[in-house]
Structure 1
Amino acid sequence: MPDCSSPSFLTPPNSNAHSAHSAWQARLTLGFALRDGVSRLVERRHSGPLRVQKALYPEGGAVCHAIIVHPPGGVVGGDQLAVQATVGDGAHAFLTSPGAAKWYRANGHVSGQHIALRAGAGAAIEWMPQESIFFDQACVRLRHEVELAPDACYIGCDIICLGRSASGESFDSGSIAQHTQIRRGGKLLWWEQGLLAADGPLMASPLGMHGLRVCATLIAVGGPVAAGVIDALRAIAVPDGARLGVTQMKTLVAVRLLGTDSEAARCAMLAAWQLLRPAIMGRVAVVPRIWNT
Structure 2
Amino acid sequence: MTDASPSNRARGTLAAGFRRVGTRTEVVGPHEAGGYRLRLPRTHGGPCEAVIVNTGGGMAGGDRADFSFAAEAGAAVTLTTTAAEKVYRGAEAGGAEAETRVGVALAVGPGAALDWLPQETILFDGARLRRRLDVEVEEDADLLMAEMLVFGRLGMGERMGSGRVRDRWRVRRGGRLALAEDLDIGGDVAGLLDRPALGGGARACATVVWASRRAGDGLDAARAALDVADVAGGASAWNGLLVARALSPSPRALRTAIVDLLSGLRGRALPRLWA
- TM beyond 0.5: yes
The 1:32/1:55 distance shift into structure 2, 3 A limit, reads farther
Residue deviations 1:185-228 (CA, integer Å, cap 9, x gap): 1011110012111336853455533331110111111014456x
Q: Is the 8 A contact 1:21 1:78 kept in 2?
A: no
Residue deviations 1:23-64 (CA, integer Å, cap 9, x gap): 11100111100112210012211110010113532xx42200
Deviates more, 1:47-56 or 1:232-241: 232-241
The 1:263/1:56 distance shift into structure 2, 3 A limit, reads farther
CA distance, structure 1, for counterparts of residue 242 and residue 228 of structure 2:
22
Q: Is residue 23 from structure 1 mapped to residue 6 from structure 2 by the alignment?
A: no
CA distance, structure 2, for counterparts of residue 113 and residue 226 of structure 1:
30
> After TM superposition, which residue ranges in structure 1, 4 or more long, deviate above 6 angstroms?
none
Unaligned runs of 5+ in 1: 2-17, 278-283
Question: What's the counterpart of residue 260 of structure 2?
Answer: 271
Question: What's the counterpart of residue 21 of structure 2?
Answer: 35
CA distance, structure 2, for counterparts of residue 210 and residue 50 of structure 1:
36
Question: What's the counterpart of residue 15 of structure 1?
Answer: none
More strand by share: 2
1:136-175 aligned at under 5 Å gives the runs: 136-175=125-164
Q: Is the 8 A contact 1:32 1:39 kept in 2?
A: yes
CA distance, structure 1, for counterparts of residue 48 and residue 129 of structure 2:
30
Q: Is the 8 A contact 1:257 1:265 kept in 2?
A: yes
CA distance, structure 2, for counterparts of residue 52 and residue 40 of structure 1:
13
Query: Which of 173, 196, 207 is the matching residue for 1:217?
Result: 207
TM-score (structure 2 length as normaliser): 0.90
Q: Note the aligned Cα RMSD (angstroms).
A: 2.0
Q: Is residue 189 from structure 1 mapped to residue 178 from structure 2 by the alignment?
A: yes
CA distance, structure 1, for counterparts of residue 80 and residue 42 of structure 2:
12
CA distance, structure 1, for counterparts of residue 197 and residue 37 of structure 2:
37
CA distance, structure 2, for counterparts of residue 65 and residue 241 of structure 1:
31
Query: Which of 188, 209, 212 is the matching residue for 1:199?
Result: 188
TM-score (structure 1 length as normaliser): 0.85
The 1:164/1:84 distance shift into structure 2, 3 A limit, reads same
Question: What's the counterpart of residue 106 of structure 1?
Answer: 90
The 1:236/1:54 distance shift into structure 2, 3 A limit, reads closer
Question: What's the counterpart of residue 14 of structure 1?
Answer: none
Identity of aligned residues (%): 31
Matched letter for residue 47 of structure 2: V
Matched letter for residue 272 of structure 2: R
Count of matched residue positions in the alignment of Structure 1 and Structure 2:
267
1:98-137 aligned at under 5 Å gives the runs: 98-107=82-91, 108=93, 109-137=98-126
Report SS of the residue matched to 2:8.
Answer: coil
Matched letter for residue 133 of structure 1: I
Deviates more, 1:237-246 or 1:249-258: 237-246
Question: What's the counterpart of residue 272 of structure 2?
Answer: 289
Report SS of the residue matched to 2:256.
Answer: helix
